[in-house]
Chain A
Amino acid sequence: MRRHLLIAVALAAGTVTTIWTSQTDFGSFSLNVAMTLGIAGAQAVMVAAFFMHLLSEKKMICCLLVFTAFFFVMMMGLTLLARLPANVVHYK
């Protein structure tokens, strides 16, 4: 129980830090985005590892999630493919 409470405090601190990074000028908006989403990602890993017991979960579940992560990244990549210039996608 103590471990869960510590993780909860860490998550709350992460939330406060996320607000702070989003409102601080680091010179580049892209850097703000990267830092803010990076902290959100770290919070997500803590929730998955401790609240969803992934740290102690069986291999089959971890394999399933590796596949999920692969297809998720592919889907994001396909979406951003639309941002490439036309002559990169459709060569002359």
Chain B
Amino acid sequence: MEIPHTVEPREDTGLYNAKVGVWLFLASEVMLFGALFSSYILLRVGADPGTWPRHWLDYKLGAVNTIVLIISSVTNVIAWANLKMGSFRKYRNYQALTILCALVFLGIKSGEYYGKFHHYTIRLTDGRIADGHLQKNETTKDKVVIEGWWREGEAAVMDPPANVEEKKIEIERGKIADMRNYGPSRNNFAGLYFTMTGLHVLHVIGGILVIFAIWGPLNGMWKSDPRRYTNRVEVAGLFWSFVDLVWLFIFPTFYLL
């Protein structure tokens, strides 16, 4: 028995099943990310002045990622439009660009995460604070070598000054009072940054796996049932546009404000 309205829309709503389903799913995703955003807002407005980090993230990399996701959304929609007009070849080309953009996004994000895990704030026993990226090749059991800056107090750690030249700093391990990286356990900002961008990355991976599966191994349906295949591409595209939409809020929240 065939399930009705997988291709032909219902007379009362004018929608086919998958479209209703994906919009309901996206509504639940709004609440998921919304809960995290509201947590961020509550923690941010509740933080004492000068204790909430600013300018910890490279906004230029974030902007590149934003443009990459925008391009991927455009190519995704154009791919679907070409499929609606019956051009499978053009659909494949544009959807390949979508997949490529997603991989670029993931690559840049991986680089950002790597940088954060290798970026340390070192508090010395004499009260000085050093901040920079660990130079693993030069670090030994006796000394830690970073490429970074000396910070003038906690305020400069929370809101680092811009355009200060990095220099190599060698610190004997015996003089280190505390050493911690910019990972998720650092503070609430870092915890929320990794949680929200990590959840977003999982959505990017999930979305691109679905888009790739429909583009690649499952594209035989284009020959057997082209309208149903086009609908699959459309609902996957709706999810992909939502992933882009969430990033449009994550970028200014974490990278700019």
Contact = CB atoms under 8 A, between A and B. Distances in A.
A51 B244 contact: yes
Interface in A10-58: 11-12, 15-16, 18-19, 22-23, 32-33, 36-37, 39-40, 43-44, 47-48, 50-52, 58
Contact of B252 (A5, A22, A51, A68): A22
Given A8-B70, A11-B70, A48-B245, A18 B252 contact: yes
B25 to A, nearest CB: 11
Contact of A8 (B20, B71, B249): B71
B interface, by DSSP: helix, strand, loop or mixed?
helix
Contact of A75 (B24, B34, B63, B76): B34
Interface residues of A, number: 41
A64 interface: yes
Contacts of A4: 74, 77-78, 81
Contact of A76 (B41, B63, B251, B257): B41
Contacts of B37: 76
B13 A71 contact: no
Contacts of A75: 31, 34-35, 38
The size class of the interface chain B forms with chain A is 35 or more
A2 to B, nearest CB: 10
Given A64-B23, A72-B30, A51 B73 contact: yes
Nearest to A39: B252
Contacts of A32: 257
B238 interface: yes
Interface in B21-42: 23-24, 27, 30-31, 34-35, 37-39, 41-42
Contacts of B20: 60-61
A72 B31 contact: yes
B77 A51 contact: yes
23 contacts: A4-B81, A7-B74, A15-B70, A18-B251, A19-B59, A19-B256, A22-B256, A32-B257, A33-B257, A36-B256, A44-B248, A48-B245, A51-B241, A52-B238, A61-B23, A64-B27, A65-B27, A68-B27, A68-B30, A72-B30, A76-B34, A79-B39, A83-B45
Given A4-B81, A12-B70, A23-B256, 12 more contacts: A4-B77, A8-B70, A15-B63, A19-B256, A22-B252, A36-B257, A40-B249, A48-B245, A51-B241, A60-B13, A71-B31, A75-B31
Interface of B: 13-15, 19-20, 23-24, 27, 30-31, 34-35, 37-39, 41-42, 45-46, 59, 63, 66-67, 70-71, 73-74, 76-78, 81, 237-238, 241-242, 244-245, 248-249, 251-253, 256-257
